[in-house]
Structure 1
Amino acid sequence: MTKHKIYTMSFASVYPHYITKAEKKGRTKAEVDEIIRWLTGYNQEELEAQLEKQTDFETFFAESPQLNPSRTLIKGVICGVRVEDIEEPTMQEIRYLDKLIDELAKGKAMEKILRE
């Protein structure tokens, strides 16, 4: 079976779209970075290094220092699919991130986005 195209795309190529989506709704790059750090366990320097290296999505999540155990609390539909029902682990991580960015753009409070 061939890998989904998103796995081989560089995270850095999609990252600006996350920021644009958030900023169009009055949110900030700092909030996008906070969400990514919360989900993956990267610190800011590690996140920037991954962006600099043009790391692909599969590697980005595989090298995550500590995927947040609370990420399983993320529920809902993204691209017509319930994130909690996605069976392929890497795709589920990508969709968790998509869902969190959507919640940010919809104006949800950071405490709720970060499942605090």
Structure 2
Amino acid sequence: MAKHRIYTTSFASVYPLYVAKAEKKGRTKAEVDRVITWLTGYGQKELEAQLEKQTDFESFFAEAPKINPSRALIKGVICDVRVEDIKEPTMREIRYLDKLIDELARGKTMDKILRRE
């Protein structure tokens, strides 16, 4: 079975869409970056380097320094699929990020988004 095209899509090509979605709802680029760094373990400079390199989604998550173990607390539906039911690991990580960006755009507090409660 062929890989989903999102795996070979540049993370940098989708990143501005994440930022635009958040900003449209009154959130900031810094908050988007905070969510991404929390999930992946990238520092700000490392994140910017990945964006500059045009790293694809598969590599972006494969090269992540420290995937946050609390991401397993992310539950819910994204694209009509429950994130906790996704079997393929890379797709699950991508959908975790999508879910976090959705929560940010919906106005959840950072503590709730970053699973501190």
Q: How high is the TM-score relative to the length of structure 1? A: 1.00
Code of the residue aligned with 2:84 in structure 1: it is E
Which aligned segments of 4 or more residues in structure 1 are displaced greater than 6 angstroms? none
What does residue 35 of structure 1 align with? Answer: 35
Alignment gaps of 5+ in structure 2: none
Alignment of 1:1-116 (within 5 A): 1-116=1-116
Deviation at 1:97, TM superposition (A): 0.1
Displacement of 1:12 in angstroms is 0.1
> What is the SS of the residue equivalent to 2:18?
helix
Offset, 1:108: 0.2
RMSD: 0.2
- Inter-partner Cα distance in structure 2 for 1:39 and 1:81: 20
CA distance in 2, matches of 1:42, 1:79: 26
Q: Which whole-Å CA distance do the structure 1 matches of 2:86 and 2:3 have between them?
A: 15
How far did 1:98 drift?
0.1
Q: What is the CA–CA distance in structure 1 between the aligned matches of 2:54 and 2:92, rounded to whole Å? A: 21
Structure 1: gaps of 5 or more residues: none
